Amino acid sequence: MRFGINSFLFASPFTNASTKLFPQFVKWGFDTVEIPVEDPSHIDPAHVKAALDKAGLACGSICACMGPGRDFRGTAAEQKTAMDYCKALIDQAVVLGCPRLIGPVYSVVGKADAVEPAAQKKEWALVVKNLKQLAAYAKKRGVTICVEPLNRFETDFLNTCDQGLKLLKAVGSPALKLHLDTFHMNIEEKNQAASIIKAGKHLGHFHACGSDRGTPGNDHIDWKPIVKALKKIGYKGDVVIESFTTDVKVIARAAAIWRKMEPTRNEIAVKGLKFLKKAFK
C-alpha cells in the first residue's frame, strides 16, 4: 500500500512547471502523486515522467476532470468530447507509467437533478456503452479505470458503492474498477467500512479525505473500521489525500470551499500523512 497526495491541494491547472512540487512531496514522505489533468495540452507527459523519476516519486493516478462538455450521458458531441479527453489521459498515463485513471469517469461534475425513470434508463445505457469502449481502450494499454461515486450535490448519476458495483457489472470489463472516497461516502453511505468490504476485489483506488475536506484524522470520521475493512479485503492500492483549500481559487469554487478548513495546506499534507501512516501502521 502506498500513500499519495492529489496535486489540486497546491496547483490548478497542473502544468510542467508544477513538477517543482515533487521534491517536497517526497520530503514529506509521500510515495505517489495523483495528477488531475484538466486539459491534456497542459503537460508534456515525458517531461513530467522525467521529473518524477528524478524526485523518486511515482504517478499513482491521473484524475479525470469532467468539466463542461465532457459527459458520457450527454449529447453526442459531449460524449465524443468526453471520450477523446479520457482516451488522451489514458495515453498520457502510459507515458507516465501511471496504472490508473480515476474519478467520475461517466458524467460532467455538477449535473445533479431529478431525472425521470425513463430518462435514467437511457442515460445509464449511454454511460455503459461509452465505458465499454473506453475500458477496452484502457485494457489494451494496461491502464485501469476507477469510477468514483460522488455525493448527491455533485452528481445524480452515481452516489453509492452499490450503484458503482452495478455499473461495473453492466460494463463487464476487468479494466474497470471502483474508486471510493471517504468524503463522499460520509454523506452517502450508511456504513463506510461495510461498503468497502462489499466493494472487495473491485476496489481499485481510495481517497482518504476529512469529513470537511480538511485533514484526515482532524475530523469526525471513524477511521479505525475503515482501515480494518481495507486490510480485510487485502487492498494493496494507493491511499490518497484529496483535500482542497481556498489557496487554489478555481478548485475552491468548484468544490464549494468558502472558508479556511485548516491553518495551512501544508498542514493538511503533513499531518494527514502522519495520521494515515499511524492508522495503517
Active-site annotation, residues: 148, 242
**CA dihedral of 68, 65, 178, 240, whole degrees rounded to 10:** -150
Three-class SS string for the chain?
A: CEEEEEHHHCCCCCCHHHHHHHHHHHHHCCCEEEEEECCHHHCCHHHHHHHHHHHCCEEEEEEECCCCCCCCCCCHHHHHHHHHHHHHHHHHHHHHCCCEEEECCCCCCCECCCCCHHHHHHHHHHHHHHHHHHHHHHHHCCCEEEECCCCCCCECCCCCHHHHHHHHHHHCCCCEEEEEEHHHHHHHCCCHHHHHHHHHHHEEEEECCCCCCCCCCCCCCCHHHHHHHHHHCCCCCEEEECCCCCCCHHHHHHCCCCCCCCCCHHHHHHHHHHHHHHHHC
In angstroms, the CA 268 to CA 74 distance is: 36
> Which positions ≥6 away from 94 have C-beta within 8 Å?
141, 142, 143
Amino acid letter for position 182: T
